[in-house]
Amino acid sequence: MNDPVVLSELRRRLAEAEETLNAIREGEVDALVIGEGGVDEVFAIGGDTESYRTFMEAMDTGAAAVDEDGRVLYANSALCRLIDHPLPTLQGKPLVSFFDARAAAEIGQMVGKTANQREKVEISLKDAATKMAQVFLVSAKPVRLGLVQGHAVTFTDLTERVRSETAERAERIAAAIIASANEIVVVCDRVGMITHANSAASAIYDGDLIGKMFEDAIPLTFTDAPDLMSGGALIDLALNGQARQGIEAIATRAPKVKDYLISAAPLQVTEDQISGCVLTMVDLSQRKAAEHQQLLLMRELDHRVRNTLALVLSISNRTLSNEDTLQGFHQAFTQRIHGLAATHSLLAKQGWTKLSLHDIVRAELAPYVETDGTRLRLEGGEVALIPRAAIALGLIFHELATNAVKYGALSREGGHVLVAVRGPTADGAAMRVDWVESGGPMVSPPQRKGFGHTVISHSLAYSSKGGTDLSFPPEGVICALRIPMEDIP
């Protein structure tokens, strides 16, 4: 012990101990805090804990001191308000008994540990006054209070931070949804100024919409909403809490598409306050085009039905005038209507666009011969025909086939029909097609010309370039048809 350094250190420590003892005797020290092994030990001097309570009361966060069994020794006012219990009710009771099962399990697990490290966990509590959920970070650290081993527990309110993070996340999600939408989405504030617009909005405004008044940037006129005079009126309705959906409007200054289906709804960020409105605009150009096409089709259908009815009426009248008996009229009229229906069925399958000459011939002769057999032969290339020519040729081939079955080549075995596409006429105005019968009985010109002859002669006469030449050589009937080139697409 003769080492001067060691003796000096002992004297220094003795002086500190004497100074501390004097301070304790004078009442200048309330407690001693001794850290050993990572654990802070608090030793109260003279049993006075008022200074610690004052310190805890000054804290904004809820705080409590619990013993080793988790019973409350003291809790500050912030924690009492949080769990809606006064201090006398809390003292001596387990801290976890004032929380719901989930929070109690989390807190109980922390204060039940004897490890020296600080434990933290997030819990959700319901505010006693507002009944709204709040999020807290609960921290528990082992401490010694005098001779008592326990934990200091604090409750830090994270509600605003969590709400802010949730709002930011929701805003990012909303922005992503708006950006990915195919239709135009525009968000306006309470004065009608555009705050958000997705990329689809470029179809309605050539430039940046942000910061512009909606009514000025996207002027609208409404055709089916008499209560709306402008886009501003639609926004006013939304700002007053009245959503409107599916209103047709015309964007008068849009560079491309001008017809839109517009919906507007209030934008409520909080439950009780409308902060703006959201407008969606759906392109109606395709629907308008479809409606226009449908109108044209309806008009075309009406025109065709009228023509067909007129043709049926004409067939009925002319058949009646050429038949001597009711049975004869019924048979002839029915056959002609069936022939007309066969061509109409083929046109319907093709969408009333065009029809093959060979298909018409096969359809009209199908009731009488096997169209893929030896009695019917088709020569020449396929010829496509528009509807008016297809209907006319259907009538002509029906009359030729009926006549062939009754009197011509198809009236007995060994008779044949040739339908040959010869090519354009000399002037190029028509396509020459011949009907040639052979192998049937001897043919002679008819003594009188009936309705069938009229149908054959006049069905293609709607054009000066069309027509037929019917001849009766002994070996079989020949009908030369001229189909106007304008009817061959």
pLDDT in tens, 96-150: 999 888 888 888 888 876 556 667 888 888 776 667 788 898 988 887 766 677 8
Among 68-77, 98-107, 405-414, 444-453, name the one with the lowest average pLDDT. 444-453
Query: Which domains does the chain possess?
Result: 48-158 (3.30.450.20), 181-287 (3.30.450.20), 324-487 (3.30.565.10)
Q: How much is the pTM? A: 0.46
Query: What pLDDT score was predicted for residue 290?
Result: 81
Strands 39-44 and 31-36: antiparallel
Query: What pLDDT score was predicted for residue 37?
Result: 53
Is residue 359 within 8 Å of 378, Cβ to Cβ? Answer: no
Dump pLDDT digits (tens) for 339-349.
777 877 877 78
Among 103-112, 184-193, 417-426, name the one with the lowest average pLDDT. 103-112
Q: Is the pLDDT of residue 317 over 80?
A: no
Task: Please give the backbone phi and psi of residue 468, each rounded to the nearest 5 degrees, phi first.
Answer: -140, 150
Give the pLDDT band (50/70/90) at residue 46: very low
Distance in angstroms (rounded) separating the CA atoms of residues 67 and 142: 10
Distance in angstroms (rounded) separating the CA atoms of residues 55 and 112: 25
Give the pLDDT band (50/70/90) at residue 94: very high
Query: What pLDDT score was predicted for residue 11?
Result: 67
Q: Is the pLDDT of residue 39 over 70?
A: no
Going by C-alpha positions, the residue among 372, 367, 294 that lies closest to residue 337 is 367
Q: Is the pLDDT of residue 338 over 60?
A: yes
> pLDDT higher for 426 or 297?
426
Dump pLDDT digits (tens) for 165-176.
877 887 787 777
Distance in angstroms (rounded) separating the CA atoms of residues 90 and 104: 15
Distance in angstroms (rounded) separating the CA atoms of residues 165 and 159: 10
